[in-house]
Structure 1
Amino acid sequence: MNAFTRYSHETLVGTEIRQREDPPVSSAILSVVAGERVPGPARSTASTNPANTADVVGEIGLAGPEVLVQAARVAREAQLGWSALPAPQRGQVIANVGRLMTANKARLAALVTREIGKPLAEALGEVQEIIDTCDFFLGEGRRLYGQTVPSEMPDKQLFTFRRPVGTVVVISAGNFPVAVPSWYIVPALLCGNTVVWKPATYSAVVSDAFYQLFAHAGVPAGVLNVVHADGPDTFTGLEQALQAGLVDKVGFTGSSEVGRRIGELCGRHLQSPCLELGGKNPMVVTENADLELAVEGALFSGFGTAGQRCTSLGTVIVQESVHADFVELFGAAVAAARMGDPTQDVLFGPLLDEKFAAGFEKSLGWIAGHHRVIGSTGRVTADNPRSGFVGDPAAGLFYHPVIVAGVRPDDELFLHETFGPVVGVTTYSTLDEAIALGNKPGYGLSSSIYTTDPRQAFQFAQGISAGMVSVNNSTSGAEAHLPFGGNGKSGNGSRQSGIWVLDQFTRWQSLNWDYSGKLQKAQLDTATVEADFDFRLP
């Protein structure tokens, strides 16, 4: 914790929550259960800087399935006491988290940049998103409203209450290693749940710093637990914890393929998980669009974070009358964009990890003979250079940004998420055709339309299947008080952020209070008012 500003709990929370001691220093980042480091990892792995793969950010001790089960058991035992803390006090803890994040914004962002290669400006924005989330949800501690409902019988009152679901397992990806976990963890804790969090192994050092800030903000031991494990052991541990009745809710951000498996697993236990999955996000450019603005939006949403956002632009669907002009402008903008060392002023840096580099290279194999490729493809090297590259391309996992024009609706490149710096371009004649093209891949996360005609904007929003629509803005970008989530292959309709996420982490309870002193039976004893329905005006 030495790298982070630290406040005492007496200052931030009050003396009712005990002072927390830092976990003992270890040579590796280990799981944390009940506030203690879990010894004896099954094996270890290294987290390296993708912009400089020789830079080892940290060694990660990977736990086995039994540690996830243990963490779920600890969280279940801690949940009753945490939920008994009044919601406004839980909100105060969330306020403390926000204050600590603010005090440590630059340090945490620098660690995000080092471990996953996200440009520093974006990393700072990601930490700000945590702060915004805390700012929103600290007030929800005083607004977990229910309702007083009129009864159909006398001397009787009806009420509704939000109750916490219980123990939540959160499994998150590493492309947004701190912002996305906060979307789950902050509202889950605020609502009175306890959490077991399994972050991505390639962002585990950032995850550990994130955990420490929560711990020092006043989150008691056992209320937030962290398990570092690989994918198979995580799935096995989750399966065992569900079978043991230790888990009440699962939140998952990741690929559609893994999301299906988690959805199936939860369904066997009659649970509905919160699934935030991939996307093949379309951008429609109409004949009346501001083309320079559309290009700016396509550049940011297509190549920001090296195209590794779930909301990254997949295909630009351009009205055929402006297609040639758009492609020319877009190609020039991509050629001029700065890329490279993420600590510098660049649009994007490296891919996150070797496994993502391998997956992206596979998607480049979908480029076919009928496509027109604008720009170089593949890894940036001395033999395959990029003009104006910032830094040493040989040091990291850097790939050329590429535009592929002429994609067709049956192309692999059109249908599937690529998760890397490639954007397809196709044409349309009518807006109905553009909407059909946008819906064809079967995802439904984010979308965008550039137009100066309000009727086109509303027609697009009504027809597109995406959970999020932008008009004259990019496919990427979320605010803490707006629902985030998708449909189809992008998710199961659950939503994060804003008041809408409360339905993921609370259950509605109704209270029927009869003080009449006798048994009144709804529908059977309800009085009715008679009317003369034969009456006719003279």
Structure 2
Amino acid sequence: MGLMRQVLGESFGLFRQVKLSRPLGMRVRNASLVRSKAFVNGIWKGAASGEEFAVINPADGEAIGSVPNMNENDALEAVGAAYDSFLQWQETTAKERSHHLRKWFDVLQKNQDELAKIITAESGKPLKEAAGEVAYGNSFIEWFSEEARRIHGEVIDSPIKSKEMIFIRRPIGVTALITPWNFPIAMITRKAGAALAAGCTCVVKPAEDTPLTALALAALAEESGLPAGVFNVVTSGRDNAPLIGKSFCESPLVAGISFTGSTEVGKLLYKMCAKGVKRLSLELGGNAPFIVFKNADIGKAVQGAIASKFRNCGQTCVSANRLFVEEEMYDEFAGKFKEAMKAQLILGNGGDGVSTMGPLINDAQTKKVDGIVQDAVKKGARILLGGKKASSVGDRFFEPTLIADVDPRMLCYNEEIFGPIAVLIKFKNEEEVLRLANHTKRGLAGYFFSNDIAQIWRVAKKLEVGMVGINEGIISSAEAAFGGIKESGLGREGSHYGIEEFTYIKYLCFGNL
């Protein structure tokens, strides 16, 4: 169970910094969104044990609230409620489900600013970036409110005159949704929107670092009139998370699990779900290549790299992890990228309205990122910018860092960094960079910049990833099919394919006609 416990104004150096003033706290006008209880079967309740755990603002280390530390028994109670509700929810019409989701979307839209403040307070994201996530997260509820009415079956020509053959889609049942801290609203709505549209009910287990956003979503679901037991949220600290995950995998009432998180934990869930042959959707870790060919528009490539690498302080699964630059333009790209980082990346408390990059999520992640940089330097890499903790800003802040002369011996070459560390790798030609880019067990996203249309087509097909950004560093939307190959996961989220994860095909054969 060890790996599963992971689941769940002054200047310094070369960077500008906005000095932390007072904590953001919970400056939310709609106080009903800030909840201290879990949401099960339409009731706000604590853990049966009475235990709670604190939610910490990573920018300043201050507690901004507390929520129930539920255990596996609390979680199974929520599963039972979701199952009872499923018996009725599965019989609703597509139009009814569409209407419910649209009402939920409408109240989400009315509370965009408040949701963004909550995200910033518990994840450390700059407020502007948090607002962008809210718009992105809400768009999944809107999208699936529309897709609910487009879950189609199929009529097949029978080989026998006296028979007719029809395929229909049915909801799989209760779904357990285990979500990460880096996108505390979008990773829930992307899953729950699809599940509810398909006719499933769900139990959400948000990350222990960011439970307040999930509870705000539940409050707005309740306000919108979503029936009790259809959308449930159970919260827990790190100590109880492994057993809750295990209980989801083993419960006969849970038909499917959707998980976003590390590859290591995903493998454990995969193994535990095998016993019950459960439906499983996994969106796991990445090691995204970002390739700049010599014919690329260097300005667009630099901005694409900034967007892909440093969004959410580099803590995204589709973040550019290895930046491959063709040798003819390596030095020019490195210089311009460095200047763009210095000009655009401003460290500080996300709620100040000025910062463009916040803290790492917790002390463990800060220690990991620092270790990755030290390992690279020890093995011969050059620090072009940054390279250390920004202690004058806060304990969990790390300088935006640019490292050159990176090679396969280094951790930053092989591991998902999940921090504001950009690493540059020189390559000679297309054949070499494809070999290097694909030499990994991960295959989530990849990016490349080129103005050669023949090369674009070749590279796009040959990159071993589930998603490709071509002359573009931001690729996600509700309409896109999000997911990877190899050890980056199973299934797709978003798009019309997202609903398929929550339905099964039932074959109806009409005989003796």
What TM-score, normalized to structure 1? Answer: 0.86
Measure the CA separation in 1 of the matches of 2:436 and 2:296.
Answer: 18
Shift of 1:189: 0.7
Measure the CA separation in 1 of the matches of 2:441 and 2:463.
Answer: 11
Q: Secondary structure at the match of 1:51?
A: coil
Shift of 1:152: 1.2
Rg comparison, structure with higher value: 1
Q: Secondary structure at the match of 2:348?
A: coil
Residues 352-361 or 273-282, more deviating = 352-361
Structure 1 residues 310 and 41 mapped into 2: Cα distance closer, same or farther (>3 Å)? Answer: farther
User: CA-to-partner distance for each residue in 1:346-374, whole Å, 9 max, x for gaps?
Assistant: 33111122232233223223213420111
Residue from 354, 365, 370 that aligns with 2:363: 354
What is the 5 A alignment of 1:471-510? Answer: 471-474=470-473, 476-492=474-490, 494-510=491-507
Q: Secondary structure at the match of 1:114?
A: helix
Q: Is the 8 A contact 1:90 1:190 kept in 2?
A: yes
Q: Is the 8 A contact 2:138 2:186 kept in 1?
A: no
Shift of 1:81: 0.4
Structure 1 residues 41 and 353 mapped into 2: Cα distance closer, same or farther (>3 Å)? Answer: farther
Measure the CA separation in 2 of the matches of 1:228 and 1:381.
Answer: 31
Q: Secondary structure at the match of 1:284?
A: strand
Specify every segment of 5 or more residues in structure 1 that has no aligned partner in the other structure, as ranges.
7-21, 383-392, 517-538
Aligned-pair identity (%): 28
Q: Is the 8 A contact 1:93 1:219 kept in 2?
A: yes
Letter in 1 for 2:53: T
Q: Is the 8 A contact 1:409 1:437 kept in 2?
A: no
Count of equivalent residues:
484
Structure 1 residues 131 and 241 mapped into 2: Cα distance closer, same or farther (>3 Å)? Answer: closer
Runs of 4 or more off by more than 6 Å in structure 1?
none
User: CA-to-partner distance for each residue in 1:213-235, whole Å, 9 max, x for gaps?
Assistant: 11222221111111112345333
Measure the CA separation in 1 of the matches of 2:247 and 2:471.
Answer: 47
1:523 is aligned to none
Residue from 176, 182, 187 that aligns with 2:183: 176
Residue from 47, 51, 67 that aligns with 1:43: 51
Q: Secondary structure at the match of 1:409?
A: coil
Specify every segment of 5 or more residues in structure 2 that has no aligned partner in the other structure, as ranges.
1-25
Shift of 1:437: 1.1
2:415 is aligned to 416
Shift of 1:41: 4.0
What TM-score, normalized to structure 2? Answer: 0.90
Q: Is the 8 A contact 1:120 1:342 kept in 2?
A: yes
Shift of 1:323: 0.6
Structure 1 residues 164 and 269 mapped into 2: Cα distance closer, same or farther (>3 Å)? Answer: same
1:223 is aligned to 230
Letter in 2 for 1:50: P
Q: Is the 8 A contact 1:101 1:130 kept in 2?
A: no
What is the 5 A alignment of 1:95-494? Answer: 95-231=102-238, 233-337=240-344, 338-343=346-351, 344-367=353-376, 368-382=378-392, 393-394=393-394, 397-474=396-473, 476-492=474-490, 494=491
Residues 28-37 or 507-516, more deviating = 28-37
1:519 is aligned to none
Measure the CA separation in 2 of the matches of 1:2 and 1:336.
Answer: 30
Q: Is the 8 A contact 2:197 2:499 kept in 1?
A: no
Q: Is the 8 A contact 1:68 1:238 kept in 2?
A: no
Q: Secondary structure at the match of 1:447?
A: strand
Q: Is the 8 A contact 2:442 2:485 kept in 1?
A: yes
1:15 is aligned to none
Aligned-CA RMSD value:
2.0
Letter in 1 for 2:409: D
Measure the CA separation in 2 of the matches of 1:257 and 1:232.
Answer: 18
Structure 1 residues 336 and 3 mapped into 2: Cα distance closer, same or farther (>3 Å)? Answer: closer
Measure the CA separation in 2 of the matches of 1:120 and 1:297.
Answer: 21
Shift of 1:5: 6.6
Letter in 2 for 1:460: V
Letter in 1 for 2:486: G
User: CA-to-partner distance for each residue in 1:195-254, whole Å, 9 max, x for gaps?
Assistant: 010001111112211111112222211111111123453332343344341111001111
